[in-house]
Structure 1
Amino acid sequence: MKNIIKIAGLGLLIVGCTEIEPLPVVVNSADRNLTEIKNYKSTEHYISAVWFSNWKADGNMNSYLSTLPDSLDMIILKGEYDTLSDAQKADLRCVRGEKGTKVLMTADFDKIYEQYVVALDEAERKGESMAEAKAASEGREVSMGDIEAAVKTERQKVMDHYSTIGNTLLDRSEKIISEIGLDGLSISMSSTGDVFFREVVKRFIDTAGAKFHTAKRILVFDGYIGYVSNSCQWLDYVISTTHGNDRLSEVQDLFNSFMSMENARAEQFLSYLSLENDSWKVPYKDILSSVAVMDAKYKSLSLWKPLTGERTGGMALRGVENDYENKYSVLRQTIQYLNLK
């Protein structure tokens, strides 16, 4: 078999490089050598990526990055990590230094967008109330024009604030990445937003892209990929998380749409599967076969190739925390299938 398969198989057999005990936690490096698996990750291959939302390194084994498979290429952290505990620092050193796994933080624009929508609603209520109070103080009935003008003023204040939110977020992200020692950033935005907020996100992608490109850090986008149509040159990987996932043809259609974008490259494209519910266990509906199709989605998607033969970047999985009790068996098999195609 090819060396790529041999090394991938090795990565699946090696266990994590931490020992986790009841609190207080002691995280120790193992004596064995992970150089081969680390070197393999620097070669061209289909990469595997996951989101991880439970990073605490608090004595529960499912809260450690180092319990994830050694052969995993990239972890996207979900959550706030301005400071790290000693156990988290040791855990991070293990996965980055010894395993060569890339670890990214998230710029969560979905969360910011929710706050923006709430702020706009509050601005509308405040503007209407202010117009009514002003009209009453002048001894007259409030007009629709009064309300519209006051609401417009208050909404503009909100947009003025959020027009600079990207600069604040980028400065904070760069500081955290530098201080705690991460490899890059994933920009997350699944909502299509409104016209104003779409521009906020697009501006952030371009600004972050220029900076991260210069600094040689990884930049990923995950969510609604319409945001990257004019920004592909800045991104290492793009992950659509908003498309349907009952038919494999939907992945092909999505790939075609992505490749029609300016500066898009096939190796940027990571296919996506969620393990957050049980839908991954059933086969795709559109796979034709003379016998009943029994392969779960993760196998079919791992082995999928574009009809035009391009080499994609690999695959990203959400909800791997649900796979922990099975010793990450679905994730391990996914990585194995990726490296068999």
Structure 2
Amino acid sequence: MKLIFYNIIVATAILSMVSCTDWETAEAEIFDKSMTEVVKSEEYYENLRAYKKSDHSIAFGWYSEWEEGSADTGNTLSAVPDSMDMISLWNNSRNLSPKKKADLEFVQKVKGTKVLQCTFVQYIGKGVTPAEYDTDEATRNAYWGWNPNPADKKENLPAIEKYAKAFADTIKAYGYDGLDIDFEPNVDGVSGPLDEDPVYVAMLFKEFSKYFGPKSGSGLIFCVDGEIERIPEGTETYFDYFIQQAYMNHSSNGLRSRFETSYRSIGRGMSKAEFAKKYIITENLESAIDCLNGGYKWENFPLDVKPSLVGYADLDLGEGLRKGGFGAYRFSNERANNPKFKWMRKAIQEQNPSPGYQTID
């Protein structure tokens, strides 16, 4: 396997780790040091992969502007903190160059990071229609066999089946680890005949579930984010994770209330503990300056001590529940921080503290 090398100044103790505990301690020691990426010992990576297979709350984020890297490697996946568990690609996920293919392979196979492709599903063919058939709505509908005005909506099932298989083939071709549906029928600003119709949404999610998620047997991850409370009844069992966009909700009580609302809406047939483990709560870091600050003011803490990203990571749902994890939209903006990704590293430690790490109370 081709490994991607970068320049770094870092304590040599990192290279002599011998256990998962040692690895976790190292992450706490280096999160605030100036670093990009370094090829460490195979023993280190074995421990890292073992950690990511363990039962723990995960670190997640939507990654944008993935590039090949140059003198500054901060825009590569390999520069993302080692201990991030799952990345959803917001853009630049197609037509990969050899360098980007190697970058993807490195984070997946060496670091054990899961990399998903993210998509809206407002209309049939969104994200996978060949360019020559994506010139206008009528041409696109004809390619997929979609009838805009069927006598019975079941007439469009073959088009939905074709669409789901095309996405599965695309994910397989690129070697991604799963699919993340950005489900925003009421707020995405696009009038969509597919995602705004609960009958079609139920059909679509069922077809996707044959290729992704716990019912597929494929090992590929299936997530839904956005307006998760609006997914049709009966589809909740298809997903590995429900990713809540609880943006700018900057108190523990507010986030707990949001969790309770989500559980009442889509936790059907699941215990609260089961649902909690599928629930990832995320902050919005699209604003570059807010991303560099680690988000927004969190409760009564000074911004430079415990910003909202750290607060989300530190969130205790109560009742002995363990949340699925925390994350952020466009956390990759923090690649420009000094040191790079310093708040994401801090947040990961707050959620899963290493031995000896002092959390912020």
1:51 to 21, 44, 62: 62
Q: How many residues align?
A: 289
Matched-pair contact (CA < 8 Å) for 1:105–1:185:
yes
Residue 25 of structure 1 corresponds to none
- Aligned residues: CA RMSD: 3.5
SS of 1:302's partner is helix
Residue 238 of structure 1 corresponds to 242
With over 3 angstroms needed to count, the CA separation of the structure-2 counterparts of 1:242 and 1:292, relative to structure 1, is closer
Matched-pair contact (CA < 8 Å) for 2:69–2:75:
yes
2:296 to 262, 269, 282: 282
Amino acid at match of 1:259: Y
* Unaligned residue ranges in structure 2 (runs of 5+): 1-18, 128-136, 139-146, 187-191, 354-358
1:301 to 312, 322, 331: 312
2:258 to 237, 249, 254: 254
Residue 88 of structure 1 corresponds to 100
How far 1:64 moved relative to its partner? 0.8
User: Which aligned pairs between 1:166-315 and structure 2 lie closer than 5 A?
Assistant: 166-192=160-186, 197-212=197-212, 213-228=216-231, 229-241=233-245, 245-260=249-264, 261-264=267-270, 265-277=275-287, 278=290, 281-284=295-298, 287=299, 295-315=306-326
Greater helix proportion: 1
* Unaligned residue ranges in structure 1 (runs of 5+): 19-28, 116-121, 124-153
Amino acid at match of 1:68: V
State the TM-score, normalized to the length of structure 2: 0.69
Q: Whose radius of gyration is greater, 1 or 2? A: 1
> Quick check: 1:36 aligned with 2:47?
yes
State the distance in 1 between where 2:126 and 2:219 align.
31
> Quick check: 1:335 aligned with 2:335?
no
State the distance in 2 between where 1:56 and 1:74 align.
18
State the distance in 2 between where 1:112 and 1:246 align.
37
Matched-pair contact (CA < 8 Å) for 1:104–1:183:
yes
Which shifted more, 168-177 or 275-284? 275-284
State the TM-score, normalized to the length of structure 1: 0.72
Residue 98 of structure 1 corresponds to 110
Matched-pair contact (CA < 8 Å) for 1:49–1:72:
yes
How far 1:175 moved relative to its partner? 1.1
How far 1:253 moved relative to its partner? 1.7
Amino acid at match of 2:206: D
State the distance in 1 between where 2:87 and 2:281 align.
15
With over 3 angstroms needed to count, the CA separation of the structure-2 counterparts of 1:231 and 1:9, relative to structure 1, is farther
Matched-pair contact (CA < 8 Å) for 1:11–1:69:
no
Matched-pair contact (CA < 8 Å) for 1:5–1:339:
no
With over 3 angstroms needed to count, the CA separation of the structure-2 counterparts of 1:292 and 1:179, relative to structure 1, is closer
Cα deviation, 1:131-167, whole Å, max 9, x if unaligned, reads xxxxxxxxxxxxxxxxxxxxxxx9627x989876643
With over 3 angstroms needed to count, the CA separation of the structure-2 counterparts of 1:4 and 1:266, relative to structure 1, is farther
How far 1:226 moved relative to its partner? 2.0
Amino acid at match of 2:204: F
With over 3 angstroms needed to count, the CA separation of the structure-2 counterparts of 1:283 and 1:196, relative to structure 1, is closer
State the distance in 2 between where 1:112 and 1:58 align.
34
SS of 1:88's partner is helix
With over 3 angstroms needed to count, the CA separation of the structure-2 counterparts of 1:173 and 1:307, relative to structure 1, is same
How far 1:55 moved relative to its partner? 1.6
